[in-house]
Amino acid sequence: MIAWNRKHLLGLQELSREEIELVLETTASFKEISSRDVKKVPALRGKTVVTLFFEPSTRTRVSFELAAKRLSADTLNITASVSSTTKGETLLDTAKNIEAMSVDAMVVRHSTSGAPMILAEGLNCSVINAGDGCREHPTQALLDIFTLRERFKRIDGLKVAIVGDILHSRVARSNIWGLTKLGAKVTVCGPATLIPRGIEAMGADVSYNIKDVIKNSDAVITLRLQKERQQDKFLPSVREYSQLFGINQEKLSQGSSSLIVMHPGPTNRGLELSAEVADGKQSVILDQVTNGVAVRMAVLYLVLGTKEN
Ligand code: CP
């Protein structure tokens, strides 16, 4: 097993297969802690972790905070609406002022692709990307990959479809980087207007036929239709999108009974997937959320344990 040597986690594009496997192994060793009566170990005692969120979040923010607390770190949440960026301060200045209070790690979500890189270059503390624009959401992909590996006991050779708004999806991009490095065959599927040109260069196949995709997949990751990022009209109507690409029980029955349905959340029930599917026995959506805490414990532990910190 290789040693972790990164101060920051900015994306899966730059991670090697061995580094991703190390995160997955570390996650497996941390998962059991959350099922104990006393859900706490002293691994990060004395460290301070700040979550700095400039976009809404339920799962990522809460699970980073729980992860840090379960490792005995001190935590603090800052959201955009209460930060001084609303008074004209730059993101980097805000972050430098927070860091000046002896912070060890900053977990950042921002609508601008690349914002965590700017902070990583300008700060001395560790920076963890909690989702930047349409670029990457590395811990979401790591928890998706961990959930797949837990279910299928392998990633190599697994057929994974990512369905929906690929164009605006940082989850899709991080999953393509991560899954293909581990040997999975990834197919993206959705309306042509929501599939970015050149996505094949990242290692994914493209299909516009949802029935074929379901028939030939071990897992389907459905994505939220990101209305907030769609300045242009990418779809004739949301209803048509739902009819063509929304995952319902009828479409799901075309595939194997062992096929699993995933979704990073938040879900638009009745749009990208039906309530019946979201709550059905092939759905692992809540397993993903559970695994998110263990993945974020692993990431915090690894980045804060590097020699540079
Ligand atoms: N999957 C995800 O990033 O969810 P949140 O927006 O709730 O953090």
CATH of the domain at 74: 3.40.50.1370
Indicate whether 151 and 85 sit together in one domain. no
Question: What separation in Å is there between the alpha carbon of 307 and the centre of ligand 1?
Answer: 30
pLDDT tens by residue, the chain, 309 residues: 789 999 999 999 999 999 999 999 999 999 999 999 999 999 999 999 999 999 999 999 999 999 999 999 999 999 988 777 777 889 999 999 999 999 999 999 999 999 999 999 999 999 999 999 999 999 999 999 999 999 999 999 999 999 999 999 999 999 999 999 999 999 999 999 999 999 999 999 999 999 999 999 999 999 998 776 665 678 878 888 999 999 999 999 999 999 999 999 999 999 999 999 999 999 999 999 999 999 999 999 999 986 566
Asked if 92 and 192 sit in the same domain, the reply is no
Q: How far is the CA of 51 from the centre of ligand 1 (A)?
A: 13
Domain shared by 132 and 151, yes or no: no
Alpha carbon distance 202, 183 (integer Å): 13
Task: Examine residue 222 and state whether it is found in any structural domain, yes or no.
Answer: yes
The C-alpha angle with vertex 173 and arms to 169 and 177, in degrees rounded to 5, equals 165
The Cα-based distances of 51 to 7, 42, 135, 140, 223 in angstroms read 16, 20, 19, 16, 24
Assess whether 160 and 44 both reside in one domain: no
Q: Does residue 62 fall inside a structural domain?
A: yes
Statement to judge: residues 109 and 205 lie in one domain: no
Could you tell me the distance, in angstroms and rounded to a whole number, from the CA of residue 207 to the centre of ligand 1?
Answer: 26
One domain for residues 275 and 297: no
Question: Do residues 124 and 176 share a domain?
Answer: no
**Nearest CA-CA partner of 114 in 27, 188, 173:** 173
Residue 127: domain span: 17-136+291-305
Q: How far is the CA of 184 from the centre of ligand 1 (A)?
A: 24
The reply to whether 231 falls in a domain is yes
**Same domain as 197, residue 88:** no
Separation between Cα atoms, residue 271 and residue 242, nearest integer Å: 5
Residues 179 and 250 in one domain: yes
List phi, psi (to 5°) of 276.
-60, -40
Q: Does the beta carbon of 169 sit less than 6 angstroms from any atom of ligand 1?
A: no
Q: Are residues 67 and 26 in the same domain?
A: yes
Q: Measuring CA to CA, which residue among 29, 26, 107, 105 is closest to residue 62?
A: 107
The tokens for 211 are 């029935």
User: Is residue 146 located within the same domain as residue 194?
Assistant: yes
Residue nearest to atom 5 of ligand 1 (CA): 57
What's the pTM value of the predicted model, to 2 decimals? 0.96
Whether 140 is in the pocket of ligand 1, judged by its Cβ within 6 Å, is yes
- Name the domain count of the chain: 2
> Distance between CA 249 and CA 209 in Å, rounded?
17
Contact 177, 141 (CB under 8 A): yes
